[in-house]
Every structure is written in structure tokens, then in C-alpha cells.
Structure 1
Amino acid sequence: MLIRNVGIPKFVGGEGGYVDVRAGRRIEAIGALEPLGGEAVLEGHRAALLPGLHDHHIHLFGLAAARESVDCGPDVPLDEVVSKLRSAPGDRVRGINYHESLAGELTAEAIDAWVSDRPVRIQHRSGIVWYLNTAALIEVNADSADQPGIERGDDGRPNGRLFRMDGWLGEQLARVPPDLGAVSADLARHGVTGVTDATHTNDAAQARVFAARVANGELLQRVRLMSGPPLAGKHAGLTAGEHKIMLDEYRLPELPALVRRIRQAHEDEGRGVAIHCVTRIELLVALAALRETGASRADRLEHASIVPAECIAEISDLGLTVVSQPSLVFTRGDRYRADVDEAELEDLYRAASLLAGGVPFAGSSDAPYGDADPWLSASAAVNRQTSSGAVFGADERVSPETAVCGYLGRPDDPGGARRQIQVGELADLCLLDRSWRDASADLGKVGVRLTVRDGEVLHRHDAD
């Protein structure tokens, strides 16, 4: 394939002016090029050509399932949520994005008042809690289950709240993972050529499911798969990722146990760890454990939603990469301003201060908990505006180049050197619908004309 008349921005290896790029599986030539016989030619119209974007933290099957779920978010009126739950098709109903500001802490009895004739389960927007109505509790045999994540009332019976029970719920419901075709195509439409699935319940069985979806052409992107246990065996189309560790403030592990787990990942598995930490306490526990074990350059902090200023130097000294979700500033910023303690607001979803402190930093979506559109994420990193237009953490703004570079790190080193448009690099490419000068003026309006992985077209939208 020959892509003619494109601009390669300097931050990804460009030298100014407009060039042609020949792409096979790798970039074969850059310059003033003539088409080869039978070669496909695409006119670039002086638009910007970037490396394909990589979403460094996403939950693919969760994102696909979210498309078939009822949005129970706090910005949706309660009567509308109830109406949608009641009218949802199917033998069972799945809701997402719930926040207690809508109707308080849910119980089975509360959901029964909305829908009682079929099983309903609603996920809290944090991903920690599932709320089940009585029919759903019966469906999964919660009453007889010996599971610590099932909360029980004074009578000893399940009250409808299940904590971190995604894997168990899936087993009880014998659910078939949803189709990934639409999700993958949508990511390609945004220029995404690779993803890191950060779901903590991933295991060898789930890896086989992912591999099958790659093999049948349903999943178009390169896939790096985090997991708890190592992914035994080889899985075509997948790369094994970090050892995922979930820290939840309500059930923190003893520090010695956490230290042993990190050492096991480092020494026995030869993997870095990716530690989920969204609260100040979770971050401090993660840093204490990594301080004792000694951090690997492959270790990551997922989210690092709240980072006190005094922790930045230690994160840098340990060599940890922070993988953040700037889009949450836009989608949840107004709720954070209402809910988060004022003393912690300036510590929320840092970016510029981490980079200034020498912390490797990468962007991601955390979809379905965040928006999967990388251009929304990059725009939020630049503008730091909430959906209402309020500015949230102006001192944490970064440049458009830095914001996009958050998606250009290599999958195994997301905060390291950014991939470049150079001869010999993999032909994972993203052609915008405008010049970089125009794109950088408003990243939120950027469209993608062409997405290429390994020289194969994943998405194409021809200009009028």
C-alpha cells in the first residue's frame, strides 16, 4: 500500500513537509515515491499520519456487554432508569454505571420494587459491586453459596450486594462471552490498532476465548492480556501481559502477602505487576509493598486516581509507570467535584505534575468504565474540562502532543519511548482527517480516515 501526500508530525519522527509512505507488514519506504505495479494507492490530502494508537487499559468483553446493558448512571433520571429496566428485552436484565446518588445503596428489595418478574443485576460504576434482585439471587443460588463477596443481612440471607464477584457470577450464569466485532470495529474507527486487556479475572481459559476471536477475524487489534495466574501455553494472536493485582480499600491484603505475590510475579513468572489503586490508601499500600520488594521497570500503577504530591518523587524513584484515564475528567469530573474531599481534588487524575516529576505516564480508556474514544481522552488531558465545561485541575493540563503520545507507547513499556513513523517499524498506522496543526487545535473533533495494522486496512473512511 502507498499512502501519498501525508504529513508526519515531528513528535513521531517527521522532518516537515509532505511525504509518501509505503507500507507492507512494516514501513518499507518514506519519501517521494512512485506506485509499484498493482499497488493500492491512497491519497492522504496532507493529513497527519501517526502510529496506530494503543489503549493500555481496557476491558473488551465488559465493553461489549455494556452495549447490551441499561445505563443506570446518575445523570439519568431515576424514573427513566426504572422504565428502561422494565422494558429491556431478554430473560434477564443487566444494568451498568450505577451510582448511589441516584437511589442510595441498592438492595434486592429495592430492585424488586422496580423489576421483580425476572433476574436483574446492576453494576456499580466503580466495578466493585453488583446489585441483584431476588430473582437474580435465586438464579445464581446465592443463598447456599459459601462466598465471602456475598453480603448478608442480619438474618444471614444475601441482601443483594456482591463484591468483586464477576468471575463467580459468570460461572453461575454459564454466560457466553459477547461478540467483540462491533467493539473492535469501533476502536479501529478511532485509530486503535492495539489494546491491553486489564481484566483481573483473565486466565488461560479466557485467553483461549480471546485467541479464538482473533483467529476468526472478530478481534482486529493486537492484544496484550493481563492476568492473575500466568497464561499457561501459547495463544496465537495474544501477548501475555502483566500480573494484575487488585487493591480494594475495603479488603486490603496483609502487606507480607502482597509482597510475596509481587515477588512471585517478578521472580517465578518473570512478569511485572499492574496494581489497581484508585484511593490514596490503596496507592500507599502499593508503594509500601514495591518499596520492600524492589520495583521492576515493568511494574505499573493502574489508574493512580489520587496521588498526593509527596508521593510523586517515590513513584519516580521506583521507576513505576502510571497508566491513567484522562477521559474520566470529562465524563465524571462534575461528580468528582461533588463527591471527592476538597483536600484531594488537586491530587485527582494527575498528568503534568507526574511527567514533570519524571514519572512515565500513559493514557488509556478503562472502557467500559471510561469512554473508549482515545480522542476524547486526549482532549480531556489537554483541556481538563468536565462535561459541564468546568475546569478541573488546570495545572495538570498537557500539550496535544503529550496527550496523544499517551497512546503511542509500546505495549510492554507504555510510558517509555513513543513509537515512530520510520522505515522498519511495524505498519500500524493511523491517518487523520486533517493536518496535525488543525488536529492539535481541538483533539476532540479529530476523525480517522484510515487505520492500518500490519499493512492491512482495519478501517477506511474516504474523504468527500
Structure 2
Amino acid sequence: MLIRNAEINFDQGVDVRITGERISAIESSLLPLPEEEVIDANGGALLPGLNDHHVHLYAFAAAQASVSCGPPQVRDAEALRERLRAAAATLSDGAWLRGIAYHESVAGEIDRDWLDAAVPNHPVRVQHRSGRLWILNSSALKTIGAEYDLSAPLERVDGRATGRLYDSDAWLRTRTSATRPALHQVSRLFASYGITGLTDTSHQNGPAEFSAFAEARSRGELLQALRVMGDARLDAVTDVAGVTRGEHKFHLHDHELPEFDALCADIRRSHSASRAVAFHSVTRTDLVFALAALREVGSIKGDRIEHGAVVPPELLNDICELGLTVATQPHFISERGDAYLRDVAAEDQPWLYRLRAFIDAGVPLAAGSDVPYGDANPWASMQAAVSRRSESGVVMAQNESLTPEQALALFLSPLDAPGAAPRKIIVGAIADLCLLTTPWRDARIDLSTVRVQRTWAAGRSIWKM
């Protein structure tokens, strides 16, 4: 395949030949070979395929059939009631209604009674935007047999279940459908953004999930290369074509932290299996605890912090000293910034989702969408890294903003080395590529408007506009 009139390195016009899975030639002008497919890039920027370094694939796939229950789609209680009732009206008798992305700014701390008043005749479960909380109505509690089951991990007040279920996804899956959703739709959505690599960071992933991902990849349902984080059970898993074992993920919550010595033992066990660790860190307390454990055990190359939502200067120094990588979400400033300004302590607001400070300190920095808890569009995330602007227009910690080129680089590092040097289009490289509709000088003006006309993974077309 020959791609003509493409732009690489932001300003260099070239022709690029792909042979099999690799780039075989780059010249100012190449003649087509007999029967070779020729694609005219029309001056569009040809970039390495993007890598999204933080996703939750099966949750994202399930979200496609769910009702959005939070901002920006839903902003008040009446709008939520109307949306839930409209969705319920389309369902067959007894069918589940699944909501996602709820935030208490919409209708406060809702519970089973609130949901019963909105939708009394269908089992309903609504997930909080954080991913940590499900709220079930009475019909749902009855359907899963949890109303009077005192062993069920439900919140109860005076012995009565409120319908609120914290940090119990695995338990809930055993009571509802165990069928994994297909990945076809979300994989093609990623491809439309130019994404050729993903890291699934779900902390509960084990051998069964790893095998399911490998099967989806082998049958062509999953188009991207995938790195799979998960729990200690993955220590013994062997990589397969297109699916590799990732870090041991620890999902910390500052109100319920694990026993420190046990955590240190778990880190040592994974390190001894030549496996780095990753810590979910969205509060100052989470981060302090994770850094203390790594200081006690000792860090290895590849240990990383997920989100790094609040990183004050003294903790940034510790991250540097431990040689850690950070995988963050720049778009949370645009998507959630106004809520952060309202809810996050004033002393922590300057340290929210920092970017430039990490780069200036030499900390390897990468980005991921955190879908379904954030927008899947990496170009919107890049623009958020440049503008640092909330939905209402407030600029937050402008000193943390990046150039368009630095923002792009957050998605160009290898899956197994997030934050390392951006991959380049060079002869011999795997042909993971995305072709934009415009040259880079136009794309960089507003990255959120970027459109991808073609995407190739290992030389194979996986998206065409």
C-alpha cells in the first residue's frame, strides 16, 4: 500500500509505503508498484496510531446500552426522572434499565425510594460517575434476591436496604446477567479516533477476563492491541498475540484502605513476578498511602499512578524520587472542572490533574480516557490539556497547560512504556497509523475538531471515514 502526499513530523511532505505489517519506505516521491493500492492523503497529517492508556473496555461496552444520568446530558432531578421514564417506556416487561454517570449535583444522594418514584415497574440500577456506587430500586432488589439477604453488601439504615451498593461490581455481576457485552462497537469507535492501542485498567481483571479479551482479539471483534491490568491472578498469565499482561492494579479508596503490610506483601509478590504495579489515586490520601507502600517495598521500572488527581509539590517530589509514571485524564478538567471548583478543597485545586509540572520534573506522563467514566475522544482530551478550561469557561491552573504537540505526545508513547518518547513514523516501524483530514498546522488550532480519515493497525485498515 502506498500513501501519497502525506505530512509527517508536523511539516514534512512525503510518500509512505506499507508492506505487510511495517513501514517499508518513506521518500519525497515514490512510484506505485504494479497493482499496489494507492491512497492520496491530500496533505493530511499522518501520525502514529494513538494509544489510550486507561480504559475499562467491558464497562464501556455495557454503557452503550445504558442511559446517561449525569452532566452534561442531565443536570437536574426532573430531567433525570423524564429520561429514566422515557427509557423505561421502550422496555419489555421485566427488562432491566441501566443508568450510568450519575452525579449528586443532579438530584442529591438518591436511593431506592427516589428510583421507585421515578420507575416503579422495572428493575433499575444506576451507576455513580465514580464507578464505585450503584443505586438499585426496589424491583431490582427483588429481582436479584437481595432485599432480605443480610449477606448482600448493601447499605442499610435501621435494617432496611437503601438500594446503595458500594464497591461491589463483582458481587452484582453474580446476581445479574453474566454475559459479557460485545466489543465490536466500542473498538470501532476507538478506531474512528485513530486509536490502535488500549490499556484496560480494571482492577478486577483475572485470567477469565484476559482470555475473553484474547478471544475477542483473535476473532476480529477487538481491533486494537491491548494491555491488560488486573489483580494478582494475572501474575502467572502469559502474553498472547495482540494481548499482553499489564500491571497489578490496586484500587485505593481513602475511606477503606487495605492493611499496609498486606499491601506491601502484594507489591513484592508482583514485583517478583517481573510485574509492575499501578495505583488508582484520586485523593491526596490515596496518593500518600501508595507512595508510602512503594517507599517501603521499593519501586521498579513501570510502577505507575493512575489519575494523579491531586498531586501537591511535596508528593510530586516523591513521585520523582521513586521513578514512577503517571497516567492521567486532562479532559476531566473540561468535563468536571466546575464540580471540582465547587467540591474540592481550595488548597487542593491548584494541584488538580497536573500536566506541565510532571513534564518539567521529568516524570513520564501519559493520558487515557477512563471510559466509560470520561469521554472516549482523545482529541477532546488533548484540547483540554491545552486550554485547561472548564465547561463554564473557567481556566484552571493555566500554568499546567501543554502545547498541542505535548498534548499529542500523551497518546503516542508505547503501551508498555507510557510517558516514554513518542513513537515516530520511520522505516521498519509497525504500521499503526492514523491519517487526519488536515495538515498539523490546521489541526493544532483546535484539537477537539480533529477528524481522522483513515486508521491502520499493523498495516491493516481498521477505519475509513
- Do Structure 1 and Structure 2 share a fold, with TM-score over 0.5? yes
Q: Does 1:87 align with 2:90?
A: no
CA distance in 2, matches of 1:145, 1:240: 37
CA distance in 1, matches of 2:317, 2:359: 11
8 Å CA contact retained: 2:309, 2:352: yes
8 Å CA contact retained: 2:307, 2:326: yes
Aligned partner letter, 2:199:
T
Percent sequence identity is: 46
- State the secondary structure of the residue aligned to 2:190: helix
Query: Which of the residues 214, 218, 228 maps onto 2:217?
Result: 214
CA distance in 2, matches of 1:81, 1:54: 34
Alignment partner, residue 7 of structure 1? 7
Q: Does 1:56 align with 2:53?
A: yes
8 Å CA contact retained: 1:207, 1:235: no
Deviations 1:390-442 (A, max 9, x none): 21111110111110000011111101121111111110001111111111121
Alignment partner, residue 67 of structure 1? 64
Query: Which of the residues 347, 350, 356 maps onto 2:354?
Result: 350
Distance 1:234 1:309, change over 3 A: closer
Alignment partner, residue 22 of structure 1? 17
| Mapping of residues 173-188 of structure 1, within 5 Å | 173-188=176-191
Query: Which of the residues 105, 115, 131 maps onto 2:119?
Result: 115
Deviates more, 1:176-185 or 1:345-354: 176-185
Alignment partner, residue 289 of structure 1? 293
- State the secondary structure of the residue aligned to 2:352: coil
- State the secondary structure of the residue aligned to 1:444: helix
Q: Does 1:34 align with 2:38?
A: no
Query: Which of the residues 243, 249, 252 maps onto 1:247?
Result: 252
Q: CA deviation at 1:110?
A: 2.0
Query: Which of the residues 167, 172, 176 maps onto 2:175?
Result: 172
- State the secondary structure of the residue aligned to 1:188: helix
Aligned partner letter, 1:40:
E
Aligned partner letter, 1:239:
T
Aligned partner letter, 1:69:
S
Query: Which of the residues 213, 230, 233 maps onto 2:233?
Result: 230
Alignment partner, residue 161 of structure 1? 164
Deviations 1:223-266 (A, max 9, x none): 11111133335554311111111001121112111111111110
CA distance in 1, matches of 2:96, 2:121: 9
Deviations 1:90-136 (A, max 9, x none): 30111111111222212212211111212111111111111111111
Alignment partner, residue 127 of structure 1? 131
Alignment partner, residue 13 of structure 1? none
8 Å CA contact retained: 2:199, 2:228: yes
- State the secondary structure of the residue aligned to 1:83: helix
Q: CA deviation at 1:55?
A: 0.2
Deviates more, 1:252-261 or 1:232-241: 232-241
Q: CA deviation at 1:80?
A: 2.1
Q: Which runs of 5+ in 2 are unaligned?
A: none
Query: Which of the residues 428, 434, 438 maps onto 1:434?
Result: 438
- State the secondary structure of the residue aligned to 1:342: coil
Query: Which of the residues 198, 203, 216 maps onto 2:201?
Result: 198
Distance 1:207 1:409, change over 3 A: same
Paired residues, what number? 453
Q: TM-score, normalised by structure 1?
A: 0.95
Q: CA deviation at 1:174?
A: 2.8
8 Å CA contact retained: 1:354, 1:361: yes
Alignment partner, residue 259 of structure 1? 264
8 Å CA contact retained: 2:238, 2:245: no
Alignment partner, residue 152 of structure 1? 156
Aligned partner letter, 1:17:
Q
Q: Does 1:46 align with 2:11?
A: no
CA distance in 2, matches of 1:71, 1:164: 20
CA distance in 2, matches of 1:440, 1:27: 25
Q: TM-score, normalised by structure 2?
A: 0.94
CA distance in 2, matches of 1:379, 1:234: 34
Q: CA deviation at 1:301?
A: 0.3
Query: Which of the residues 145, 148, 168 maps onto 1:141?
Result: 145
| Mapping of residues 275-354 of structure 1, within 5 Å | 275-354=279-358
CA distance in 1, matches of 2:241, 2:166: 33
Deviates more, 1:65-74 or 1:220-229: 65-74
